[in-house]
Structure 1
Amino acid sequence: MRVDKFLWCVRYYKTRNIATQACKKGRVKVNGNVVKPSREVYATDKIELRKDQIMYQLTVNDIPPSRVGAKLVDIYRTDTTPKEAFETKELLKYSKDYYRKKGTGRPTKKDRRDIDDFYEDE
């Protein structure tokens, strides 16, 4: 089975097209090598993929016949991603020190003054 199809079947990507794009951008490695989307995957292969700033690591147990339900995913892969990878994403979320929420529009007059004061100090 192709690596992009496998990642789609075990629900790492929502669509096969997104899985293919991730392979083309070099975010997917099989046994330590960056692969094309057409690379065949076999049992016992080790896959690393970068998604949402997390390096997922998984081992292929078996090849699914088609896309499987979320409860059956563990039959076909073993997730060996270290816990630290998820913790760093949580820390990254808290490290963003925003005054304003994303999508709230243009800066207010007070925001502009604060920005101008910041640049005058330099």
Structure 2
Amino acid sequence: MSGEETVRVDLWIWSVRLLKTRSQATAACRAGHVRVNDERAKPATTVKAGDEVRVRVEGRERVVEVKKVIRKRVGAPVAAECLVDNSPPPPPRELTMPAGLRDRGAGRPTKRDRREMERLREQVNAPVFGDPDKIRRRLEGK
């Protein structure tokens, strides 16, 4: 038997605070949102130091490298020492904001309102290429 320590991936994800609860970590594994070394991971898949873990959290993919194996949930500063975060930066807030939300009690939208909401949804869902300032101006409607 080798001297390398291993731990279940769902337990490790919960321990380093990538997900709030152990049951959320297990559910993420079962749903296919967790990959270990580019292989789909079941909750009982083991991880060891040096493995790459990809977790889809709230529509964003977190890519982390296992630096240290832990079995118990620890504080945030200690958890940060157990992994190396190689995740891409999150998208700008203006690109992730919901489009076309109405105030409660405002009544049914008019035809003009519906067209504006559709136009906003098309702009938000369109692929983003090019100059960020140009994109911001387009989203602001200028």
Selected match of 1:24 from 10, 20, 30: 30
Is the aligned partner of 1:97 residue 2:99? Answer: yes
Match of 1:57 in 2: 63
Match of 1:4 in 2: 10
Distance 1:14 1:32 in 2: 23
How many residue pairs end up in the alignment?
A: 109
> Structure 2: where are the runs of 5+ without partners?
1-6, 116-142
1:59-113 C-alpha deviation (Å, 9 max, x unpaired): 0011124111011112211101122xx025x24323x321414xx26x615x2x4
Is the aligned partner of 1:87 residue 2:91? Answer: yes
* TM-aligned CA deviation for residue 114 of structure 1: 2.4
Distance 1:34 1:99 in 2: 36
Match of 1:114 in 2: 111
* TM-aligned CA deviation for residue 21 of structure 1: 0.3
8 Å Cα contact 2:11/2:71 also seen in 1: no
One-letter amino acid of the structure 2 residue matched with residue 37 of structure 1: P
8 Å Cα contact 2:48/2:69 also seen in 1: yes
When normalised by structure 1's length, the TM-score is 0.79
One-letter amino acid of the structure 2 residue matched with residue 87 of structure 1: P
> Structure 1: where are the runs of 5+ without partners?
none
Structure 1 or 2: larger helix share? 1
When normalised by structure 2's length, the TM-score is 0.68
Distance 2:101 2:43 in 1: 41
RMSD of aligned alpha carbons: 2.2
Structure 2 residue matching 1:22: 3-state secondary structure: helix
8 Å Cα contact 2:33/2:56 also seen in 1: yes
